[in-house]
Amino acid sequence: MQVLEIKTIINKINQKEIFEAQTPDLALSIKISDYVPFIFTALHSGHNLRKDLVEKCLLNDYERWYEEDPKTDEFISLLPVTLISNDSRYEYDLNRSEKEAIYETAWGKIVWKAPLDEEERELSLAKYRNFYKVAEALIRMIESMFSRVFVFDIHSYNYKRIQRETPVFNLGTKGVDEKRYKKEIDTFINHLEKIQLPGIQTAVKKNDVFQGRGHFALHISKHFRSTLVFPLEIKKVYCDEMTGEVFEKMVTALKDKLENAMVTLIEPEN
């Protein structure tokens, strides 16, 4: 994989080049093996935290892992256009506004031994802005090539703390024009319902656990009128959220089944 500056990555996108790269600070990875009308993102899959921030963080490795979305980058790894954040959401949360992107407290826990200073915050926020610059350049280019673009915004969620039955797949649609995209939404839900996973009954719900009002989806929907964002939350059935153990067979199954469901939405069966 190439190591490229943000400016070079954006130039390559503007030239419609095929490439795979990560930034020198390892904050993000991008892959474009074909310019197609669908993009796959994993905003919270990363676990990296700058060394100086690790020393200031009150949370241990597992506590951070618990609230991240591990393996969601692997779920989309076979797909042609991917944009992945390698940094922990505890450094900056791409699904919040820039003003709210750096936590002081999160899920009832104080994050830092002492508040971050302006220089520390700016180092993180610069990476936040770079991710959005690349995402916008990518969507802008693909919108110029196709009448409609789909962005699959892949997340996962902890369920053992929820005192009721929850779906394996939760599609959030409150941040998009549900009337305009009713056909696409219904079709995607139908494809998700056909997914069969080992030892699990697959349930799919719309706006059940999450509503799809994350900043990334709202930002893209606001600024790109021909792009539909699908914020998809996957129940953490592929790991033990209490111990950190990952079930690799389930990860593989999800990767294979999700790829088919998402690509089939764009390329319907004859």
The CATH number linked to 205 is: 3.40.630.40
| Alpha-helix residue ranges (DSSP H) falling in 80-214 | 118-145, 182-193
Beta strands in the chain (DSSP E): 2-3, 19-22, 28-32, 38-42, 81-85, 105-106, 109-110, 149-157, 169-171, 204-206, 227-235
| Per-residue pLDDT tens digits of the chain, which is 270 residues long | 899 999 999 999 999 999 999 999 999 999 999 999 999 999 999 999 999 999 999 999 999 999 999 999 999 999 999 999 999 999 999 999 999 999 999 999 999 999 999 999 999 999 999 999 999 999 999 999 999 999 999 999 999 999 999 999 999 999 988 999 999 999 999 999 999 999 898 999 999 999 999 999 999 999 999 999 999 999 999 999 999 999 999 999 999 998 888 877 765 443
Domain count across the chain:
1
Residue 268: what pLDDT?
A: 43
* The pLDDT of residue 266: 64
Which residue pairs, CB below 8 angstroms and at least 24 apart, start in 246-255?
Answer: 246/70, 246/71, 249/198, 250/197, 250/198, 251/71, 251/74, 251/75, 253/197, 253/198, 254/75, 254/197, 255/74, 255/75, 255/76, 255/77, 255/78
The residue segments making up the domain with residue 222 are 2-266
Q: List the structure tokens of 75.
A: 């779920």
Q: CA-CA-CA-CA torsion for 156, 133, 15, 72, nearest 10 degrees?
A: -10
Q: What pLDDT was estimated at residue 19? A: 98
